[in-house]
Amino acid sequence: MQSQRLRNLGWTFVGWAFALILTTHCSHTETTKESPDALFEEAEEAFKDERFLIAIEKYRDLKNRYPYSTRAVDAELRIADSYFEQENYLEAESAYEIFKELHPTHAKVDYVQYKLAMSYYKEIPENSARDLSAAYKAIESFQVLEERYPTSTYSAKAKEYILDARKRLAEHESYVADFYFRRRHYLSASYRYAALLQDYPNLGYEEEALYRLGFSYFQTRMFNNARDAFGRLLKAYPQSGWRSEANSLMGEMNKRN
């Protein structure tokens, strides 16, 4: 009888030990599945599949559970990237700016600056008649990238986007100047053509802008300015299609003096 009890106790002990091992194993497995790395990988899978709303939720969940993990910082950046990929550029701008402020020495801070600039760039409207304030912000942000991170792999791309943004601004300035010119608001047109020539040189607008600037000055009786504009036109473009008109107006001004 006594030996039977001992055997039963022995089997009970073995059962408890087995249960303890199984519980420990399951607990370990569960912890592994819920680790920061595992959660980050789940979010990355959603990101790769372009399920950005789900990805953002998972990145946020990771941040909330493990706020002091290095993966929490990675998740912050990926949330900004998710907004960008959704073409939600206002949210992306805010997220990248906050990341810069919180992690100014992060290894990918040049990437963050580049993506911030790209968020502004993506907001530049195709229609040159619309507000192009995003172009100024994009240029400024790309220039910050060039100045602070000259060795960055993104610096070469920044130069290309700066040039394109400047072309769009020049197109806008030309559009506004032509608008005034066609309506014979020559004083306003002269201001715009002068700004176009000064701020956006070597972008293909000089020849026409110089002629129209000279003509606008002529119409507002600012003859010295008109002579200067026509003189620059004839010197830089001796074969210009506006050469005869410019010479004719120059002759008329000389007769008046």
The pLDDT of residue 9 is: 38
pLDDT of residue 222: 96
Return d(Cα 141, Cα 132) in angstroms, integer: 15
Q: Which fold has domain 108-175?
A: Methane Monooxygenase Hydroxylase; Chain G, domain 1 (1.20.58)
- Asked if the domains at 108-175 and 184-257 fall in one CATH topology, the answer is no
Domain ranges within the chain, ordered by starting residue: 34-86, 108-175, 184-257
Contact 23, 57 (CB under 8 A): no
Closest to 132 (Cα-Cα) out of 158, 160, 168, 164 = 168
pLDDT score recorded for residue 31: 39
Report the distance separating Cα 30 and Cα 34, nearest Å: 6
What are all long-range contacts of 127-133, with beta carbons under 8 Å and residues at least 24 apart?
128/168, 128/171, 128/172, 128/174, 128/175, 129/172, 129/175, 132/168, 132/169, 132/172
Q: What is the mean pLDDT of each run of 10 residues along the chain (257 residues)?
A: 44 40 41 79 97 97 95 97 98 97 96 98 88 95 96 95 96 96 98 97 96 97 96 95 94 82
Of 1.25.40.10, 3.30.390.10, 3.50.50.60, 3.40.640.10, which CATH number belongs to 184-257?
1.25.40.10
Kindly give, in sequence order, each residue whose CB lies less than 8 Å from that of residue 128, ignoring residues fewer than 6 positions away.
168, 171, 172, 174, 175
Give the Cα separation of 193 and 98 in Å (integer): 39
Cα-flanking dihedrals φ and ψ of residue 154, to 5°?
Answer: -95, -5
Give the pLDDT confidence score for residue 25 in this predicted structure. Answer: 42
The pTM of the full predicted model, rounded to 2 decimals, is: 0.80
Instruction: Give the H or E element holding residue 165.
Output: helix 155-182
- pLDDT, position 126: 87
Q: What pLDDT is stored for residue 46 in this prediction?
A: 97
- Those residues whose C-beta lies under 8 Å from the C-beta of residue 253, and which sit 6 or more positions away, are 218, 223, 226, 227
Compute the distance between CA of residue 205 and CA of residue 200 in angstroms, rounded to an integer. Answer: 8
- The pLDDT value recorded for residue 257 is 65
Whole-angstrom Cα distance, residue 193 to residue 173? 8
| Tokens, residue 239 | 């074969």
255 by Cβ neighbours in 10 Å (0-12 / 13-18 / 19+) ranks as: exposed
Distance CA 73, CA 66 (A): 10
